[in-house]
Amino acid sequence: MTVVVVTGAGSGIGRATACRFARKGATVVVSDINEETGPETVDLIKAKGGDAVFRRLDVADVDEWEDFTAWVCSEFGVPDIVVNNAGILIGGGFLEQSGDDWRRMIQINLMSPILGSRFFVQRMAEAGARGHIVNVASAGAFLPVAIGPSYVTAKAGVWFATQALRSEFGGHGIGVSVICPGFIRTNLAANGTKGGASVEDSSIWAANLAAGQRFLFRSPERVAAAIERAVRFNLSTVPVGVEAWLVWFLSRLAPGVVRGASSLVQMQFVDRAVEATGKVLGGSR
């Protein structure tokens, strides 16, 4: 029996990944902080004959990570695959984002995949078990834009931490991969916030951004397929989408070009585009 753990599996990439592995015959541990959407993913899997169970997890809480890891290993044994996918979005410029914004972003988008990797790799190593860790980062890891500095900082950290983990445990039968999606249709924007904005303005901004994400971006199934491929072939870095591959290659071949292009993307231009998109596609005003 293959056991797969997926965090942030209540929607988007996490849900698509959980459903994909369940279709392949795996038992999936669906984890999410949302106690409504997480069980919904389990119901979707079971409705199609799959095997899944929900367990609430706040990925920002170290103690919950320890309890969650112990519970998974007690109930199912050391898992074969762990997908650290949970994440948040906070927009706004470097100074617009408060210290609390930065701390929350780093805790959830950077520290949670590090903690998930650490706790489960430790169990794999102690048991002498083969397994695979997949951390979901972003094409933003290679793009130092001014419109979400805490986000790209955290995702760059995820990419580098994953490489360090792979270099240490890759020779011990433990596969390690990082997935770097481009524009994907998820609830990330809808649940996001904007630094330096009032609660009302932040909600409007998130709704307008979500309208574009909902209609213009590609399916999370593309990322789920990339995750499965990364596990099958033990791939190191897997961009998803033409724009993600482009940024990945340019960041290697011409980092100065990427930095120059990134400096052209300023928050005021993005705000106008987000507002226009919301008006056209049905966001808030």
Catalytic residues: 151
Ordered DSSP codes for 59-81: TT-HHHHHHHHHHHHHHH-S-SE
Helical axes 255-263 vs 242-253, angle rounded to 10°: 120
Residue 275 CB neighbours (<10 A): 17
Phi, psi of 143 (to 5 degrees): -130, 95
Phi, psi of 226 (to 5 degrees): -65, -35
Distance separating alpha carbons of residues 39 and 151, to the nearest angstrom: 28
Helical axes 149-169 vs 112-127, angle rounded to 10°: 10
Alpha-carbon torsion angle 33, 47, 221, 230, nearest 10: 80
Residue 179 token pair:
């997935």
Burial 202-225 (b: 16+ CB within 10 A, else e): bbbbbbbbbbbbbeebeebbbbbe
How is the chain split among helix, strand and coil, in percent rounded to 5?
Answer: 55, 15, 30
Closest CA relative to residue 154, chosen from 110, 107, 195: 110
Type of residue numbered 135: N
Distance separating alpha carbons of residues 222 and 243, to the nearest angstrom: 14
